[in-house]
Amino acid sequence: MSDTKATLTIDGREGAIELPIYSGSLGPDVVDVGGLTGQGMFTYDPGFVSTAACESQITYIDGGKGILLHRGYPIDQLAEQSDYLETCYLLLYGELPNAAEKERFVGTVHRHTMVNEQIRTFYNGFRRDAHPMAIMCGVVGALSAFYHDSLDISDEQHRQVAAFRLIAKMPTLAAMSYKFSIGAPFMYPDNSLNYAENFLHMMFGNPCEPSQVSPVLARAMDRIFLLHADHEQNASTSTVRLAGSSGANPFACIAAGIAALWGPSHGGANEAVLEMLEEIGDVSRIDEFVARAKDKDDPFRLMGFGHRVYKNFDPRAKVMKQAADEVLEELGIDSDPLLEIAKRLEEIALSDEYFIEKKLYPNVDFYSGIILKAIGIPTSMFTVIFAVGRTVGWIAHWNEMISGSYRIGRPRQLYTGYAQRDFVPLDKR
Ligand code: SDX
């Protein structure tokens, strides 16, 4: 922490308020405004555009340069050379594992992939047409009813076990939510398969014949999980931190993160992108939709475009776009009409004054749906896939907070409601 200060002078007030400034290892300095309450003032920052809510060492983003580092490693290097579970280890423990550490970590995850048989009955309480994210909100939160042996958040071992259980069981629960929606039997995990292969096995396998998981699709699935693993203090991660700050158990916190992710402005955008591309339907209609996105009176937005932090390209979108081409080529899909529309839409948008002025670029959600569709994942499952990948990021941030010093998060407000007034009896209204 540096010892430089910001000085705040306020019209009509004597003297000045000195506020400490802290510097991190990368990125902007921060002004500690904690002392303002004592001066009878709050800061005001709806949407937390300029607010650093915590100190963290997990992920660094430079929105201007399109940089994304996980514990210092660039996302494109991890996407190219690492795999999802290795990246999970990195996010959780801060270093890449050696061979023995990786084998132990992967082995432990494999031993937690099954869920209590009672959880299977939870699914029968849902309608078959329930959105899988609705199911995931419910069943992940319900995990806390099954694991009383790992709910003491002050116990590092409990936190460790909960982390393994969540990372390992999310694919199982996700695949179950899909199988339930199509009336197909649940598949048990096959721990002879790697993480992504196991997920595809549980999604598309059936108990009547041996699973055939394409290594190409498994690699693409693993890369999708990896690219969604963590992203600093985004809305769902901040939700997990806030829920965790009250001492809520990790399963409840992750369920809160899933709920926050579901919104179309956040993780729900990948599903909305595919629906948008299908609605556009043909490159000839792109201009019509770009015009709507620019029209202040039209609530339509180009889904998969724009980002609170990236005012340049989203490095994940670049990797995703390249992966989309590779997966389609490896699958022998010469041309995907939706990918053609997506690429043409990107070209048009990036040369349009409105998008240039507002610094709107494709984000992680713009191309991911193309790959997920090529893998055979139904659109309604896209955000569930995002939640599976992001679970490790949520846990890493939750654990970083709980294992350090923290206080319950309790923001204040700018109150613009009524001053005190007396109650009016019914016969006087
Ligand atoms: C994710 O935070 C994270 O890190 C999130 C994420 C992660 O990994 O966790 O990266 C994942 O959520 C990616 C974002 C997915 N969402 C979408 O693709 C939905 C479409 N995009 C937006 O709605 C919007 O861009 C946000 C929500 C992503 C960002 O919103 P901001 O930062 O609050 O920006 P804004 O809404 O204030 O927009 C700034 C301006 C506005 O115009 P003005 O009011 O200044 O005139 O840009 C316009 C907006 O109208 N704008 C868009 C637009 N996005 C912003 N106009 C048309 N199409 C869009 N997509």
Are 227 and 364 a contacting pair, CB within 8 Å? yes
Residue nearest to atom 32 of ligand 1 (CA): 308
Active-site annotation, residues: 266, 307, 365
Distance 366 CA to ligand 1 centre (A): 12
Most informative mutation of 301, 367, 392 for ligand 1 (most atoms within 8 A of CB): 301
Question: Measured between alpha carbons, how far is 96 from 409 in angstroms, rounded to an integer?
Answer: 31
Most informative mutation of 308, 361, 382 for ligand 1 (most atoms within 8 A of CB): 308
Who lines ligand 1 at CB under 6 A?
47, 231, 234, 265-267, 269, 293, 301-309, 358, 360, 363-365
Distance 307 CA to ligand 1 centre (A): 5
Question: Measured between alpha carbons, how far is 374 from 336 in angstroms, rounded to an integer?
Answer: 9
Phi first, then psi: give them for residue 297, nearest 5 degrees. Answer: -85, -5
Write out the DSSP string of 337-382. HHHHHHHHHHHHHHTSHHHHHTT--B-HHHHHHHHHHHHT--GGGH
Residue in the block written with tokens 């591309």 = 277
Question: Measured between alpha carbons, how far is 354 from 369 in angstroms, rounded to an integer?
Answer: 25
Minimum-distance ligand 1 atom for the alpha carbon of 234: 2
Spell out the per-residue pLDDT of the chain, length 429, in tens.
557 999 999 999 999 999 999 999 999 999 999 999 998 999 999 999 999 999 999 999 999 999 999 999 999 999 999 999 999 999 999 999 999 999 999 999 999 999 999 999 999 999 999 999 999 999 999 999 998 878 899 999 999 999 999 999 999 999 999 999 999 999 999 999 999 999 999 999 999 999 899 999 999 999 999 999 999 999 999 999 999 999 999 999 999 999 999 999 999 999 999 999 999 999 999 999 999 999 999 999 999 999 999 988 899 999 998 888 888 888 888 778 888 999 899 898 889 999 999 999 899 899 999 899 989 999 999 999 999 999 999 999 999 999 999 999 999 999 999 999 999 999 999
Write out the two tokens for 20: 């400490």
Residue in the block written with tokens 């010469």 = 334
Residue nearest to atom 12 of ligand 1 (CA): 266
